[in-house]
Amino acid sequence: MLTLRIIAIVASLIFGFFVCWQVAKRRLLLRYSLLWLTLALLVLLGAIFPDVIVLLANLLGFDVPSNFLFFAGLFFLLAICLSLSVVISKQSMRIKNLTQSIALLDGEARRAEEPKQDEE
């Protein structure tokens, strides 16, 4: 059990540093990294204080703490997926609006060039 806790602590620290490194290299925006850093922190706290996980599992009616961990992990990953889906949706709308604006500007530019061609 102690070996598993040590592995979880080391893995969460490495993961947290990796996320910070991605932010420093500008491969990941800070606002998106907060979810991943929160996950690393929760894993770290769970590894340091496993009694809290057992207590939460018992309070929520889980027979085995590992079932609670699977449930919590699934819920957290669903929250991350929802957050990223919202971001993708906003970016899709912005891309559509940008494309329409470019098409309008392109049409205006072509109309502005037409009289010049007639004068030549």
Residue 35's pLDDT band (cuts 50, 70, 90): confident
Which structure tokens are listed for 65? 């703490």
Q: Whole-prediction pTM value? A: 0.71
Residue % of the chain over a pLDDT of 70: 95
Residue range 21-33: mean pLDDT, rounded: 92
Number of H helices, E strands in the chain: 4, 0
CB neighbour class for 72 (10 Å; exposed up to 12, middle 13-18, buried from 19) = middle
Residue 99's pLDDT band (cuts 50, 70, 90): very high
- 74-97 pLDDT, tens digit per residue, is 998 898 899 889 999 999 999 999
What is the model's pLDDT at position 119? 57
